Structure 1
Amino acid sequence: MGERPDYPTALGSATPETITLLGHDLAEDVMGEVGFGELAFWLATQRRPAPGEVRVFEAVLAALADHGFTPTAIVTRLTYLSAPDSVQGALAAGLLGGGSRFLGVTEDCGRFLHQVLAGGERPGDDAGWDALALETVRAQKEAGRFVPGLGHHVHKDGDPRTPRLMRIATEEGLFGPHLSLLAAIGRVHDQVLGRRLPVNGAGACGAALADLGLPLELLRGFALLARTAGLIGQLAEELRRPVANDIFLSVDLNNRSVAPEPYPPGGRHG
């Protein structure tokens, strides 16, 4: 017989008597001793975060948990209406909607800022950050691309989550280069774009997560972790005060038949 395969992991493992997680006894050292936000950070980085890091991380989770009747919340409620025997399906439906318009901005902004910062030395004062921000916004405009983290469909005059998160990061000594660049973009972008846009909370969350040193590839995962709690709340409210059937009937009873419009071969309608 050949050698048995070996699958090393620093995460969860079990014997008949114990469960070990991150090198600690799960039952004795983790349960009732470590908060869920701290544990989520610890699992992703395999290092135990400092209290200030936990505060910033949990502020991000709170900022992203629930935003009301967004598409992710609506599809979760509608899926539960269709399949009340599948809570996991309803939650999954909502999480699958986390993309470039909702929730994905967190990852997009963090990656964008990191890419800019990887290109050279980091400024030492606000004037330097503003100069880098102007250069960054100009490059995006010339390329015909949006600046991730700018704009919000509701909070036209300022997203209340953004200054609060930046304040918490400052209080904990964790206002790093990603937040510094995003703040500078917020200060100077109108000089290039010709109009003022708010720095949205999702973008600020991405910058804060990147400053915490969390893996860029997982930033959307943390947004989805937060939104899972929100979607559970949406389902709990749906059980008490259902609206999904009203949403369904609103569309079903008010649709209008129109003539078919063939899709143009090789192109889009425009």
Structure 2
Amino acid sequence: MTTTPDSDNMQFPTSLGTSTPTEIRLLGQDLAQDLMGKVSFGELAFWLVAMRRPSAGELRVFESVLVALADHGFTPTAIAARLTYLSAPDSLQGAMAAGLLGGGSRFLGVTEDCAQFLAATLAEHTDDLPDTDEGWNKMALEAIRTQRATGKFVPGLGHPNHKDGDPRTPALIGIAAEEGLRGPHLCLFEAIGRMSKAALGRRLPLNGAGVCGAALADLGLPPDLLRGFALLARAAGLLGQIAEERRNPIANDIYMSVDRNAVYVSPDNQTAWESTRREDHG
């Protein structure tokens, strides 16, 4: 026998938003009177997750991260959004979603992956965190070697374009330092950059997505939620990409370029073709 829930006695607790016929409340505040025009979107985004208002310094670092991750040119996420808009111009949400779905281990997701890697390393040294660069270097070297021994890449190391250094990295570290928020995650991340050559045989740059993860973790935000902030930032960039696509379309050129240059290769010759292609591209 099934019973019908008594809706009058049901409760679904939330510390976020509620509404009545005359009022909307968010985070315990009157949305219209206490928040609109008084709280920035960045402050609200931080508050919604952390359940506390950020300090002025925390907000500066947080919003710097959002700016750093908003757009990075014709990345796969931007191309996916533009091509989806080409295919379905009646579905703006579909184009936005297509771009956001590409936020994974190589693009955007590194923000979360790096923060989790740093947090896990620091958790092993909670009682003996270094207070010198030499100490951080030793911890970083051990962390890199341990990660590589498992056959995994170190998240936050390397960038496909910025071979000699990602310009976002020193900028964000500098902002965090100015605000007194250069914490253990950033210190360890910087040491990983310093020790990459000793551990891997070649120096690799610290990328912007990784430094964003380190900075957000130093703000006390949960590492396993940080991909959400990267996606929040990229949503603004994707909307800009779609707006530009409407003004100056290139998606059809991308589609036609790939389609008109498609070459059939017999499965029997696939390996030889791939080898030749690698040689042609260095």
Q: 1:84 and 2:100 equivalent?
A: no
Q: 1:27 and 2:38 equivalent?
A: no
Alignment partner for residue 244 of structure 1, among 251, 254, 258? Answer: 251
Task: Give secondary structure in 2 for the equivalent of 1:189.
Answer: helix
Gaps of 5+ in 2: 276-282
Q: 1:229 and 2:230 equivalent?
A: no
Q: 1:58 and 2:63 equivalent?
A: yes
Matches of 1:158 and 1:258 in 2, distance apart? 38
Once the two structures are overlaid, the 10-residue window that deviates more, 45-54 or 143-152, is: 143-152
Letter in 2 for 1:118: A
Alignment partner for residue 186 of structure 1, among 190, 193, 217? Answer: 193
- 1:207 is matched with which residue? 214
Matches of 2:195 and 2:234 in 1, distance apart? 31
Matches of 2:260 and 2:152 in 1, distance apart? 40
Tell me the alpha carbon deviations over residues 1-26 of structure 1, each in whole angstroms, 9 at most, x when there is no partner. 84621111111101111100001100
Matches of 1:105 and 1:247 in 2, distance apart? 26
Letter in 2 for 1:221: G
Matches of 2:149 and 2:87 in 1, distance apart? 46
- 1:5 is matched with which residue? 10
Matches of 1:262 and 1:14 in 2, distance apart? 64
Alignment partner for residue 74 of structure 2, among 69, 81, 88? Answer: 69
Letter in 2 for 1:16: P
Once the two structures are overlaid, the 10-residue window that deviates more, 209-218 or 140-149, is: 140-149
Shift of 1:259: 2.6
Number of aligned residue pairs: 265
- 2:148 is matched with which residue? 141
- Flag the 1:261–1:39 CA change in 2: closer, same or farther, 3 A: farther
Matches of 1:149 and 1:17 in 2, distance apart? 48
Matches of 1:199 and 1:258 in 2, distance apart? 38
Task: Give secondary structure in 2 for the equivalent of 1:248.
Answer: helix
Tell me the alpha carbon deviations over residues 211-255 of structure 1, each in whole angstroms, 9 at most, x when there is no partner. 111112210000000000000000010011000011111112221
Gaps of 5+ in 1: 264-268
- Flag the 1:218–1:262 CA change in 2: closer, same or farther, 3 A: farther
Tell me the alpha carbon deviations over residues 108-128 of structure 1, each in whole angstroms, 9 at most, x when there is no partner. 000000000001221122121
Matches of 1:55 and 1:37 in 2, distance apart? 9
- 2:280 is matched with which residue? none
Matches of 2:199 and 2:259 in 1, distance apart? 45
Shift of 1:150: 0.6
TM-score where L is the length of structure 2: 0.91
Alignment partner for residue 196 of structure 1, among 180, 196, 203? Answer: 203
Shift of 1:58: 0.5
Q: 1:157 and 2:132 equivalent?
A: no
Q: 1:259 and 2:257 equivalent?
A: no
Q: CA RMSD in A?
A: 1.7
Tell me the alpha carbon deviations over residues 99-155 of structure 1, each in whole angstroms, 9 at most, x when there is no partner. 001101000000000000001221122121111111111212322221111101111
Shift of 1:95: 0.3
- 1:97 is matched with which residue? 102
Task: Give secondary structure in 2 for the equivalent of 1:13.
Answer: strand
Shift of 1:260: 4.5
Over 6 Å off, 4+ runs: none
Alignment partner for residue 43 of structure 1, among 30, 48, 51? Answer: 48
Letter in 1 for 2:142: E
Once the two structures are overlaid, the 10-residue window that deviates more, 163-172 or 2-11, is: 2-11
- 1:266 is matched with which residue? none
Matches of 2:192 and 2:178 in 1, distance apart? 21
- Flag the 1:15–1:262 CA change in 2: closer, same or farther, 3 A: farther
Matches of 1:261 and 1:46 in 2, distance apart? 58
Q: State the identity as a percent.
A: 66
Once the two structures are overlaid, the 10-residue window that deviates more, 134-143 or 208-217, is: 134-143
